Amino acid sequence: MELSDKTARQIWDDVKANPNRARFGFGRKAVLVNVDLQKAYTSVGEFATAYETDPRQIEHVNQLAAGFRELGWPVVWTRVSYLESGEDAGAWGTRTDTPDSLQNIKYGSVRAEFDERCDIAGSDVVYTKRMPSPFFETPLQSLLVWHQVDTVVLTGGSTSGCIRAGAVDSLSRGYRTIVPEQCVADKHESYHFANLTDLMLKYADVVDVAEVLDFLDQRKGAGA
């Protein structure tokens, strides 16, 4: 195992600056999957479980969503919420039972509400998930087959949790996987940057959000 005195952020900066890193690249058609941009994780100051990395995160996500809709490409929003009993949270969600525990993001609760800054259109797809990956026991895979996409763009949180799980599942299903850096967030910079590094090296292209917007503009120019 290689040892280092560098911080997770410094290691990430080194990886990002490497001009020779291999890329998966964008494919022909993409889906935008916005993971758990709900108040339990975005209402900083209201819930202890909430966090913020880039203050413009949701603004960037909304901009991406508008570009996807203009192309007629699918836009998906996921959130977690559970039965009053918490039994559908499984071992993952019922490890603890405090006001901030996962199992206590109940259906209809404020914690389960999407952040009011999210621009969710009537044509968008909304899924409730119960485990980290947006693919696990949701209809997401069937939706992507129907739309014949080959690229998954992931936003939301957390970088070390649901984004990472989604990226692993996405790549495992054969999709090119893109993570716009400004559009994902985590509780602590160490987890955030360490997982951006791991995602870039193994499972996804971690890119500037401007690169995704440029890709959308190119597809518009080509008639999608």
Catalytic residues: 162
- Helix or strand holding residue 206 (H, E): strand 205-207
Beta bridge mates, 82: 106
Neighbouring residues of 141: CB distance < 8 A, sequence distance ≥ 6: 135, 173
125-129 vs 75-80, strand pairing mode: parallel
Q: Could you tell me which of 201, 212, 215 has the C-alpha nearest to residue 22? A: 201
Q: Give the SS3 label for residue 77.
A: strand
Phi–psi pair at 163, nearest 5 degrees: -65, -45
